[in-house]
Amino acid sequence: KDALDVYLQEELFHGRTAKRVADFGSMELKPVLNQMRMMGISLDDMEEFLHARHAKEANALIAGRDPAMPDGGSGMTNQAAADYMTRLPPDQRRKLEIAATKIDAIITATRQLYADYGLEDQKTVDGWGEMFKSYVPLMREGKDEGMGIGQGFTVKGKEVKGRTGSSRKVVDILSNIAAQREKVIVRGEKNRVATALVGLAQANPNAEFWTVLAH
């Protein structure tokens, strides 16, 4: 069966991955950027709004994990976030909220891919959505997280890292939202190859050659 043909799945991996990443760029990311441009919203304006919108809930989680950082673990204090929202002209805030809704949809779709690809169970993925109402990635200036896509066709390791706090400047929120989508696509398509190999072994038992362990 094609689903168990490891060589076929490996050959299809590159084309499937490239197409899904390209489709994301053209069908999801580019329309949001175009909408922002037409509404006169710069990348910096959008990222500052997304950060401020997320700061309070992120600070609360980080404070619960690290008593030494009771506020500002998101890179923005609760007061700074509140002051920013207060200063926003109503018309500008309305435009930012419209664009943010589209960005939220991208993040929700990225999150769901972890379940669709079998990288995480649906309950875990749903829990991510419940943890934060306005999640965005908070990568810090001068800190390179890397793609985290693994070597070869392995998908070992945790899909996400537990958030820790820092007062360092948050950078490239939109770029990191796009990078998160690329990461899950690459890992998910790799998982197709790994799943084919496991399925092949299950369908062709041979204790002298391979064994599929229960988990």
- For the segment 13-35, what is each residue's pLDDT rounded down to a tens digit? 999 999 999 999 999 999 999 99
Please give the Cα distance from 99 to 126 (Å, whole number): 23
Nearest alpha-carbon partner for 109 in 177, 15, 33, 18: 177
pLDDT of residue 101: 98
pLDDT of residue 166: 67
pLDDT of residue 213: 86
- Asked whether 69 and 63 are in contact (CB, 8 A), the reply is yes
Structure token digits, residue 100: 């943010």
Task: Assign 112 a pLDDT band (cuts: 50, 70, 90).
Answer: very high
- For the segment 132-163, what is each residue's pLDDT rounded down to a tens digit? 999 999 998 765 555 455 555 555 555 555 55
Task: Assign 82 a pLDDT band (cuts: 50, 70, 90).
Answer: very high
